[in-house]
Every structure is written in C-alpha cells, then in structure tokens.
Amino acid sequence: MTAPSTVYLLNTNLAVHQTALTGDFSIMATAAATATSSNWNDFSIIFGYQNATNYYFANFSEGQDSASNGLFRVSNGRSRQITAFAAAIAAGTYESIRIERQGPWIRVLCRNALVASASDFYIHVWSVGFGSKNDAAKFDDLIVIGTPVPAPGSADATAPTITFRSPAIAARASAETRTSQ
C-alpha cells in the first residue's frame, strides 16, 4: 500500500482477497506501518468486507483518536469505532495480528495479547484483506481459517472449513503500481 490519501475516516488503500467466506473465522497476518514524519502512520486488517462502503476493520496507528487505532465498522460509507485499542503501534515495526469471530463476538489480538473484544457482527457473506487510511504499509502472511461460500449450483450445501494462505506480495505489487506520494 503506497498511495497516501487525504480521506480521514475510511481505508482508501484496500487490497481484498476474492474468496467469499461465511460464518466463524480466524485471520492471522503480519503488518507494519511505514515510518514517515507523521505521528499517524497506520495499517488496517479488513474483514467482513462486502464492498468499499460496508466492512469491518481493525486499525493499528501511531496516533489515538476516535477515528484511529481501534475496531471499526463501516456501514453505508460511514465509519464507527466499536472500541479503541489501549496501546498504539510503532511505525516500521512488524506486528503479529489475529482477528477471530465466533458468533457475534469479535476478538482482536496484537502480539498475542487481546486488544479488543466486542459483539457486533452483522455481515454474513464477506471477504478479508489489507488496508490503510492514508499511509504506506507492508503486509505479509495472510492466513484465514473459515468456511468458503459454496459456488452457485454446487451440490454440497455445506462447504468445508478451509485454510488458505495468501502472501501479500501480489496485493502489495498491485497496490505499488499506484503513484506513491
């Protein structure tokens, strides 16, 4: 993600995996905000993604306010903080992130420590990905454990739980084709 933006609330840099999922999940990834002279360098892990105006994200930022460094829900293009994270990140440092959903419960872990837990999941078919509000960021090792949505016309109505590993290299390469500012 190398295309800084001036949009304050939403993730304008997005790379979303095309596999549609449903039900409970576990997402694991490593990520780092690129260090700049700003005190608000950030990255986001996207989940519950339906489209650019409806999704959830966990934002990890150097700064702390009601629009950064927390668990968020974007509905109809409006971002709402569900809960804030107590600690900020250091730009340039890779963080190990895990997000889990069980029923309506969402848990967010950073460096294997629980940073948020909330009940607020309204999306039933969704995708996952990476993002940033307005900064460059580095991502790797996206691992998702969940249930894919059966293909239309599939004879098996109950899709098996799968694990897919998606290196961020392809997503990063496509994002880096944008003009860096």
Sign, Cα dihedral of 112, 44, 99, 82: positive
Q: Which of 8-12, 18-22, 123-127, 166-170 has the lowest mean pLDDT?
A: 166-170
Q: What is the helix (H) or strand (E) element at residue 32, kind and residue range?
A: strand 21-33
Q: Say which residue the tokens 């990140």 belong to.
A: 89
Burial class (CB within 10 angstroms; exposed 0-12, middle 13-18, buried 19+) of 146:
buried
pLDDT tens track for 24-65: 999 999 999 999 999 999 999 999 999 989 999 999 999 999
Mean pLDDT in residue range 131-145: 89
Please give the residue that has the higher pLDDT: either 132 or 166: 132
**Model pLDDT, residue 178:** 32
Q: What angle do CA 181, 84, 26 make, to 5 degrees?
A: 85
pLDDT tier, 71 (very low <50, low <70, confident <90, very high otherwise)? very high
Q: Where are the beta strands (DSSP E) in 52-175?
A: 54-61, 70-75, 78-84, 95-102, 105-110, 113-119, 125-132, 137-148, 162-166
pTM to 2 decimal places: 0.81
Please give the residue that has the higher pLDDT: either 10 or 94: 94
Please give the residue that has the higher pLDDT: either 180 or 117: 117
Fold of 13-175: Jelly Rolls (2.60.120)
